[in-house]
């Protein structure tokens, strides 16, 4: 081998060893081995924007808000109920059931009451008579939510002063009644009388207590006859529902020797009540008056609202 070839071979060998590390560094397995593997970081996973303390506070706030809303709703309901009751009460106060009482035969009397007052038995009396029951009737009616007015005319007294006889009483009271009905409206008009029947027909015992029985008279010779009859039948049924047979029923009157209208042609809401008879006592009358008040309420007030 010549010297030149020896030099070339030596130079090639040196170049090979110089380039070999560079080539080895570019190989994939060497690169992976020389790169350190990083361990994964233990990161905390955040599921919400609040931490546990904040979430607890939030839940508490929600509960408090829920309770506050519940209480507010309860209070609102209570106030609404209160206002509704108030409105209903005001409506009843503004528009109470109004009754007008009149006493066409004002001096009809009850013998036991007259005898207790004066020592004499009489079926007519100037001082102790059916007209004097007006305050008792008004009191019982008021207890049942009924506003009561009285046509304050002692008809039989005025008849005597003017020289008029008993049969003229309906014609005498008519202009007084007509004028009142023009001035005011009423839900019911009652002309109260005392029947001339004896005790056995006008007295009832119920639950060991005695009552004065009533009868309702309707004149059948006028245009309002059917209206008046409907009011009478409703009241009669309501009274018998409270005390059985306390009402003797509704009696229609027409023909000769009767009035036939009893001024009921002036209003559809008018009836005539025979309150007991000549032998009934004050206690019996008071019990029956209380039943009339309850029956009016049941038939015309409570029943209408339901």
Is the pTM value of this prediction over 0.85?
A: no
Residue 168 has a pLDDT of 94
pLDDT for residue 274 is more than 90: yes
Quick: pLDDT tens for 142-200.
Answer: 999 999 999 999 999 999 999 999 999 999 999 999 999 999 999 999 999 999 999 99
Output the DSSP codes for the chain. --HHHHHHHHHHHHHHHHHHHHHHHHSHHHHHHHSPPPPPP-PPPP-SSS-HHHHHHHHHHHHHHHHHHHHHHHHHHHHHHHHHHHHHHHHHHHS-EEEEEE-TTTTB--HHHHHHHHSS--SB-SSSSGGGGHHHHHHHHHHTTEEEEE----HHHHHHHTT--GGGHHHHHHHHHHHHHHH---SEEEEEE-----HHHHEEEETTEEEE-EEEEEE-SSTTHHHHHHHHHHHHHHHHHHSTT-EEEEEEE-STTS-SSTTGGG-TTEEEEEES-TT--HHHHHHHHHHHHHHHIIIIIIHHH-
């Amino acid at each position: 081998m010549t010297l030149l070839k020896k030099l070339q071979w030596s130079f090639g060998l040196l170049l090979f060893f110089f380039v070999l590390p560079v080539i080895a560094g570019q190989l994939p397995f060497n690169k992976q081995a020389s790169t350190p593997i990083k361990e994964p970081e233990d990161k905390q996973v955040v599921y919400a924007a609040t931490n546990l303390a904040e979430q607890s506070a939030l839940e508490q706030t929600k509960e408090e808000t829920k309770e506050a809303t519940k209480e507010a709703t309860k209070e609102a309901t209570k106030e609404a109920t209160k206002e509704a009751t108030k409105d209903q009460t005001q409506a009843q106060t503004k528009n109470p059931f109004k009754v007008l009482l009149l006493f066409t035969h004002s001096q009809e009397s009850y013998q036991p009451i007259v005898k207790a007052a004066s020592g004499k038995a009489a079926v007519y009396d100037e001082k102790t008579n059916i007209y004097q029951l007006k305050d008792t009737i008004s009191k019982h009616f008021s207890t049942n939510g009924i506003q009561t007015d009285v046509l304050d005319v002692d008809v039989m007294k005025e008849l005597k002063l003017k020289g008029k006889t008993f049969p003229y009483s309906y014609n005498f009271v008519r202009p007084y009644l007509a004028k009142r009905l023009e001035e005011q409206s009423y839900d019911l008009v009652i002309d109260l009388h005392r029947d001339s029947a004896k005790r056995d027909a006008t007295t009832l015992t119920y639950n060991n207590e005695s009552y004065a029985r009533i009868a309702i008279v309707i004149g059948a010779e006028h245009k309002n006859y059917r209206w008046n009859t409907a009011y009478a039948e409703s009241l009669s049924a309501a009274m018998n529902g409270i005390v059985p047979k306390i009402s003797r029923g509704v009696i229609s009157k027409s023909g000769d020797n009767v009035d036939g209208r009893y001024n009921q042609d002036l209003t559809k809401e008018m009836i005539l009540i025979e309150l007991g008879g000549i032998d009934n006592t004050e206690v019996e009358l008071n019990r029956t008056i209380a039943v009339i008040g309850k029956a009016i309420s049941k038939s015309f007030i409570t029943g209408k609202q339901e």
